[in-house]
Amino acid sequence: MPRAGEAVLVTQTEQDTRDSQGAEDDRPGVGADPAEDKSVAETEVEETLAEAIDQGRRRLSRRFPALLATGAVGGIDVGTGVLGLLFVEHATGSKPLGGLAFSIGFIALAYARSELFTEDFLVPVTTVIARQARFRMLMRLWAGTLVANLAGGWIFTWLIMRGYPEWKDTAIEAGHHYVQLGLGIKAFALAILGGAVITLMTWMQQSTESLPGRAIPAVTAGFLLAGAQLNHAIVNSLLMFSALQTGHAPFGYLQWAQTAGWAALGNIVGGVGLVTFLRALQVPHRLHEEQKKPAVGVPVRDKRRVDA
């Protein structure tokens, strides 16, 4: 024991041990609540969710002309992917290479800030779940974007087939494939996969501001959707439109509507059910924080303002 007044010499090893023990005491215990202790929170996921909610508010607040214009250019942008796909498949006969060429359309979507109906399975849905917008606003966005996507895509595929009539057989084969899937479990399973892939692409792009970083998910999703011939309502519609534009397609617009409608239903199940809900549940406390502060006009009988 040191005498009173004597200094206590502490070796560097002993000091390091004490510092280490102090650091251990500061670490959260197993099972700590991320809502209370930010050191165990999924910070990156929370930031991505918050950005999606904020962006969803902007999308859902668009006036109708802007909504339709954004959807129309989205259909045209994907049409550039169809142009690349038909060109490469006509030249090589390869579905995988055609799928890689199709990713041009999704790169255009990412960089040009246009939108597809199926891209809206993540961003505005999280906004509605967080009680920052009304459900009817989501229905308005979905319906307007879908119609505008199809209109822009129809016009662009008309131009493609008028400019490249020699691609007729390639276009008919590509479009007829989706009709041949029918309306059974195989078509629905491929539609669920298609919805999950496109929504995962959106989530990945939400997590970065880097332009190269946004291109990688676009190429991946475009390759899988077109190369593996997943059942995606907009992609299959544009390919079926290309076949119909030739005047020799072995199916008509009624079969297109049935095929695209079945695909859209599966896309919603895959995108919203397999990606959006599960991603939101990764950080339930962050979602609850948003829900406790609903946007003006969202709660029932909220008299502060009624959303337009």
Higher pLDDT pick, 296 / 305: 296
Matching residue, tokens 């276009």: 171
Looking at residue 3, what is its pLDDT? 55
Q: Is the CB of residue 191 less than 8 Å from the CB of residue 263?
A: yes
Most confident by average pLDDT, 44-48, 260-264, 291-295: 260-264
Q: Is the CB of residue 243 less than 8 Å from the CB of residue 178?
A: no
Domains parsed from the chain with CATH numbers:
41-291 (1.20.1080.10)
- Average pLDDT of the chain is 84
Q: What are residue 8's phi and psi, to 5 degrees?
A: -100, 120
- CA atoms within 13 Å, Cβ hemisphere of 18: 6
- CA atoms within 13 Å, Cβ hemisphere of 66: 7
Alpha-carbon dihedral of residues 117, 273, 102, 228, nearest 10 degrees?
-140
- Give the least confident one: 82-86, 248-252, 256-260, 272-276: 272-276
Looking at residue 279, what is its pLDDT? 81
Looking at residue 176, what is its pLDDT? 97
Burial of 56 (0-12, 13-18, 19+ CB in 10 A): buried
Per-residue pLDDT at 302 exceeds 60: no
Can you tell me the mean pLDDT for 221-250? 95
Looking at residue 84, what is its pLDDT? 96
- Give the least confident one: 33-42, 149-158, 276-285: 33-42
Higher pLDDT pick, 34 / 117: 117
Can you tell me the distance from the alpha carbon of 204 to that of 126, in angstroms, rounded to the nearest whole number?
Answer: 15
pTM: 0.81
For the chain, give the percent of residues with pLDDT over 90. Answer: 54
Kindly give the residue spans of alpha helices, DSSP state H, lying in the chain.
Answer: 12-26, 43-60, 64-92, 95-112, 123-129, 135-163, 168-180, 185-206, 211-222, 233-245, 253-268, 277-281, 284-291
Q: Categorize the per-residue pLDDT at 42 as very low, low, confident or very high, splitting at 50, 70 and 90.
A: low
Can you tell me the mean pLDDT for 133-141? 89
Looking at residue 18, what is its pLDDT? 55
CA distances from 7 to 1, 2, 146, 294 (A): 11, 8, 79, 61
Q: Categorize the per-residue pLDDT at 308 as very low, low, confident or very high, splitting at 50, 70 and 90.
A: very low
Looking at residue 17, what is its pLDDT? 56
Nearest to 81 by CA among 110, 122, 120, 123: 110
Q: What HEC string does 23-51 produce?
A: HHHHCCCCCCCCCCCHHHCCHHHHHHHHH
